[in-house]
Amino acid sequence: MNKAGTKNKMYGMTQSDSLFAKQLHGRMAQLGSTQVHSWMFPYVLGYRDRVPFFNVEETLIGMQKAFLFVQQIHARKGHILLVNTHPAFVPLVKKTASLMNQPYVNEYWIGGLLTNWQQLKYSVHAYKKFEVFMSSMMREDNIVFPKYGKAQKRFAGVQNMQHMPDALILFQATTTYKHILDEAKRLKIPVITCMDTYAPKVHVEYPIPVNVHSKAFFHFFCRLLVKVCAQKK
């Protein structure tokens, strides 16, 4: 992880930043988990009724840096892989990726998607061909094909991914999905990730300390992502 809690003078709190911070508070973005790992201490402002709460200025700084990076990648027509591991955010991430015209992974991460892409891309291309020729027939005849459903969960979001992504946005950094971050690190792919107080100790280029269980925050976050990519170059 980058050195936590450091202040960057270019990110001083302006009036607009203060309004932004209020929006974060309104979405309960500042609430952490009762479990707090020591490497997340620099992002924690204090406790209320034994519940830690983040310093929203740190959240704001993390988001500003992340969005600037996303804007730079978008300007050069790069590719960003959106990765979501939470069932509740599946429709949101799918819609956001579509509006950004970027690939995505929802819930199910294929081990080696990044590190073994040269082999897996053939499976992705095979799925894409099957999708083109069979999906309409299956819908019209109401055919249930379990293997197709499984393949759809795995490959639907990356079926148009031709190259390795220039960056990865991981919506929740948890211990269970640390292997995703490990793959990105091995290939030196920059990562933007939202991190709660119990996040694993990992190196990420663009950490955003925030309540990863807040639906309101992620809807807000995704709207801003789309807005950033919609800005004229």
Looking up residue 198, the CATH number of its domain turns out to be 3.40.50.10490
Query: Is residue 40 domain-resident?
Result: yes
Query: Does residue 154 form part of some domain?
Result: no
- Using one digit for the tens of pLDDT, what is the confidence trace for 26-56? 556 676 677 777 888 888 888 887 888 788 8
Say if 2 falls within a structural domain: no
As to burial, measured by CB atoms within 10 angstroms (0-12 exposed, 13-18 middle, 19+ buried), residue 32 is buried
Q: Which domain holds residue 205?
A: 11-114+164-230
Handedness of CA 75, 121, 99, 109 (dihedral sign): negative
pLDDT tens digits, 116-159: 998 888 888 887 777 776 666 666 666 666 666 777 777 889 98
Let me know if residue 24 belongs to a domain: yes
Q: What is the arithmetic mean of pLDDT over 167-181?
A: 84
Residue 54 lies in a domain: yes
Is the pLDDT score of 185 beyond 60?
A: yes
Instruction: Indicate the number of domains in the chain.
Output: 1
Structural domain contains residue 211: yes
| Average pLDDT of the segment spanning 154-177 | 86
Is residue 137 included in any domain, yes or no? no
In this structure, is the dihedral angle defined by the CA atoms of residues 96, 216, 69 and 197, taken in order, positive or negative? negative
Domain membership of residue 16 (yes or no) is: yes
